[in-house]
């Protein structure tokens, strides 16, 4: 079977010593930043990206991916133990998970989360391996007009899933696209918006944007009201769930996995939506809905599985279409490009070892997470005691050093400060930063394909609606936009996100 051959190739790559080692480093770091409030995977990946430039491409990507899904995992640990979700998708885990911890059942809650995540990760890895090749072969037929519509579709769908008002998310995307035009024009070489500064000819580095928006802005928000974090950590005794627990988590894990795997493909935070949807589903079909919110183990197992499955399948659009579903993946596009690989449908044929190696590494990473997390719970809990006064200077300093080491360009460092302030003010005004980063990364693609499509059609814009793929994608994009703006659906969306 072809799938098995491919997976065999993947595992032979992923099991190389240095790849396992960096997979381990990735999931370890990911768990750490998932546990620590105030620093997330996006800022971490942005800071570590320059370091990975000297690695083999596949090793670099394995580590960066590990940080991403490791963080989803770590976030649930703090959600359960101290009611502090390290990651937005873990917010729903805190509802029942922390309640279980208060009843002295932290162990089974953590175990349910871990087992659910592992099952979900395994199933989603297979789903990813099975779904990617056909999708990539479809994507190979895409012309510039289709790509333009695809990117537009991806950006607009991410609005439907973003928190806050659709209008603001749309404006953030457009602003990101606009900022992405700084630098030399690809067709004419004209420097745009560079104020005669040679250092800006290459454009604004996306690492600066990410570090500013997700690192600096977040720190400023945390410094608004400093409180000593008194973490009252529940004691973890007896990890193993009872027979009754085990019986109750099987179905939620499977349903959560399915939901997560499907929703994870959507651009822009599918994993947050997946965990909330799974929680809602479990509550609705449960025979004991009154137990939800009072320590129902189904409310931990389902959402945690959904969240982890989604984290895995969100690599599908990245690996087959070159479309990032999450800011971390937008950064991974940069990692691909630095190594001379254009992310998109060609990766699977041109770099099969890299493609399958990355996928196989995710399963290995899930095994490592399972082995790592349950025994090391004590270590993670102790990490929560690191005072913020030590943590935030470290983040700022490492961010500055990391960004400078990208191109040894002082402007990249100045840009951190600029985007930090801009992001901070906009976040305070209710604008989520993720759409801006997605717009920034995808903007140049949008412009390039728009112009190329118009050159091919000799300036006739109808090409976007006469090509069937492009037309279908544009229709879907409009549907997504309408859905995001329509009041009735907006209210439902508000309900989904209200519990955060």
Partner 1 sequence: MERRRSFPDVLAGGIFVLIGGAFVVGALGYELGTPTRMGPGAFPLLVGVAVVALGLAIAGKGLIAGEVISFGPIPWRAVAVIVLAVLFFGFTIRRLGFVPTTAVTALLTTLASARVRLLTAVAVAAGLTVASTLIFVVGLQLRIPLWGPWLGL
- Where do contacts with partner 1 occur on this chain (CB under 8 A)? 51, 164-165, 167-168, 170-171, 174-175, 177-178, 181, 185, 187-188, 190, 192-193, 216, 219-220, 223-226, 388-390, 392-394, 396-398, 400-401, 404-405, 408, 410-414, 416-417, 420-422, 424-426, 428-431, 443, 447, 450-451, 454-455, 458-461
CA atoms within 13 A on the CB side of 402: 26
Least distance between partner 1 and beta carbon 339 (Å) = 18
* 344 CA to centre of own chain: 18
Least distance between partner 1 and beta carbon 416 (Å) = 5
CA distance 374 to 117: 12
Q: Which is nearer to partner 1, 102 or 163 (CB)?
A: 163
State the DSSP string of 402-416. HHHHHHT-HHHHHHH
Coil, strand, or helix at residue 488?
Answer: helix
Give the CA distances from residue 227 to residues 34, 40, 58, 252, 492, in Å, rounded to whole numbers and listed in that order: 20, 20, 42, 37, 34
Q: Which is nearer to partner 1, 246 or 339 (CB)?
A: 339
Least distance between partner 1 and beta carbon 172 (Å) = 9
Q: Which is nearer to partner 1, 279 or 419 (CB)?
A: 419
* Among 305, 377, 294, residue whose Cα is nearest residue 100: 294
CA atoms within 13 A on the CB side of 115: 23
Q: Which is nearer to partner 1, 94 or 177 (CB)?
A: 177
Least distance between partner 1 and beta carbon 426 (Å) = 6
Rounded to 10 degrees, what is the CA torsion of 160, 163, 169, 172?
Answer: -140
* 290 CA to centre of own chain: 33
Report residue 427: phi and psi, to 5°.
-65, -40
DSSP conformational letter for 192:
E
What distance, in Å, lies between the first and last C-alpha atoms of the chain? Answer: 44
Q: Are 446 and 148 in contact (CB under 8 A)?
A: yes
**Residue at token pair 């996306």:** 206
Q: Which is nearer to partner 1, 251 or 421 (CB)?
A: 421
Number of helical (H) and strand (E) elements in the chain, helices listed first: 23, 2
Coil, strand, or helix at residue 424?
Answer: helix
Least distance between partner 1 and beta carbon 341 (Å) = 23
Q: Which is nearer to partner 1, 300 or 445 (CB)?
A: 445
DSSP conformational letter for 201:
T
CA distance 319 to 299: 31
Handedness of CA 366, 312, 251, 290 (dihedral sign): positive
Q: Which is nearer to partner 1, 240 or 414 (CB)?
A: 414
- Tokens encoding 28: 């370890």
Q: Which is nearer to partner 1, 114 or 172 (CB)?
A: 172
Q: Which is nearer to partner 1, 126 or 171 (CB)?
A: 171
Q: Which is nearer to partner 1, 69 or 153 (CB)?
A: 153
Report residue 157: phi and psi, to 5°.
-65, -35
Least distance between partner 1 and beta carbon 26 (Å) = 16
Least distance between partner 1 and beta carbon 381 (Å) = 22
Residues in the chain: 500
Give the CA distances from residue 194 to residues 143, 184, 205, 213, 440, in Å, rounded to whole numbers and listed in that order: 31, 8, 13, 21, 16
How big is the chain by its Cα radius of gyration, in Å?
A: 22
Least distance between partner 1 and beta carbon 461 (Å) = 7
Least distance between partner 1 and beta carbon 354 (Å) = 23
Q: Which is nearer to partner 1, 45 or 253 (CB)?
A: 45
Q: Which is nearer to partner 1, 38 or 107 (CB)?
A: 38
Least distance between partner 1 and beta carbon 452 (Å) = 10
Ramachandran bin of 307, using left for φ above 0, alpha for ψ from -120 to 50, beta for the remaining angles: alpha
Q: Which is nearer to partner 1, 410 or 472 (CB)?
A: 410
Least distance between partner 1 and beta carbon 213 (Å) = 14
Least distance between partner 1 and beta carbon 159 (Å) = 12
Least distance between partner 1 and beta carbon 357 (Å) = 24
Longest dimension (CA), the chain: 70
């Amino acid at each position: 079977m072809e799938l098995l051959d491919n997976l065999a190739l993947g595992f032979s790559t992923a099991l190389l010593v240095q790849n396992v080692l960096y997979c381990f480093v990735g999931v370890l770091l990911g768990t750490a930043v998932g546990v620590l409030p105030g620093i997330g995977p996006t800022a971490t990946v942005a800071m570590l990206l320059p370091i990975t430039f000297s690695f083999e491409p596949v090793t670099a990507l394995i580590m960066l991916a590990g940080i991403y899904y490791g963080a989803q995992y770590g976030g649930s640990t703090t959600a359960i133990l101290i009611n502090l979700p390290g990651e937005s998708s873990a917010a729903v885990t805190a509802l029942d998970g922390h309640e279980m911890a208060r009843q002295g059942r932290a162990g089974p809650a953590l175990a349910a989360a871990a087992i659910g995540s592992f099952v979900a990760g395994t199933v989603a890895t297979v789903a990813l391996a099975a779904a990617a090749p056909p999708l990539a072969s479809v994507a190979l037929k895409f012309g510039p007009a289709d790509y333009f519509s695809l990117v537009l579709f991806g950006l607009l769908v991410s609005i439907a899933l973003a928190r806050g008002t659709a209008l603001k998310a749309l404006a953030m995307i457009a602003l990101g696209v606009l900022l992405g035009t700084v630098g030399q024009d690809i067709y004419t070489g004209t420097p745009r918006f560079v104020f005669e500064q040679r250092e800006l000819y290459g454009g604004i580095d996306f690492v600066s944007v990410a570090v500013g928006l997700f690192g600096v802005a977040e720190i400023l928000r945390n410094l608004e009201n400093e409180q000593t974090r008194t973490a009252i950590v529940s004691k973890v005794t007896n990890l193993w769930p009872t027979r009754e627990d085990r019986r109750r988590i099987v179905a939620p894990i499977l349903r959560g996995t399915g939901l997560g795997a499907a929703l994870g493909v959507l651009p822009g935070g599918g994993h947050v939506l997946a965990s909330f949807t799974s929680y809602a589903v479990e509550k609705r079909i449960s025979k004991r809905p009154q137990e939800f919110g009072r320590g129902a183990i189904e409310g931990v197992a389902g959402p945690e599985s959904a969240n982890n499955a989604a984290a895995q399948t969100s690599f599908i659009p990245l690996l087959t279409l070159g479309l990032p579903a999450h800011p971390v993946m937008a950064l991974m596009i940069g990692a691909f490009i630095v190594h001379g690989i254009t992310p998109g449908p060609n990766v699977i044929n041109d770099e099969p070892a890299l493609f399958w190696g990355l996928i196989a590494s995710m399963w290995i990473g899930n095994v490592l997470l399972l082995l790592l997390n349950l025994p090391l719970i004590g270590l993670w809990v102790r990490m929560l005691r690191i005072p913020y006064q030590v943590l935030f200077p470290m983040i700022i300093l490492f961010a500055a050093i990391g960004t400078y080491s990208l191109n040894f360009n002082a402007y990249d460092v100045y840009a951190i400060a600029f985007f930090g302030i801009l992001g901070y003010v906009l976040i305070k005004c209710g604008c989520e930063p993720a759409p801006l980063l997605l717009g920034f990364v995808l903007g140049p693609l949008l412009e390039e394909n728009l112009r190329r499509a118009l050159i091919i059609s000799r300036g006739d814009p109808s090409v976007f609606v006469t090509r069937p793929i492009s037309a279908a994608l544009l229709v879907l994009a409009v549907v997504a936009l309408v859905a995001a703006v329509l009041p009735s659906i907006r209210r439902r969306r508000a309900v989904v996100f209200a519990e955060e």
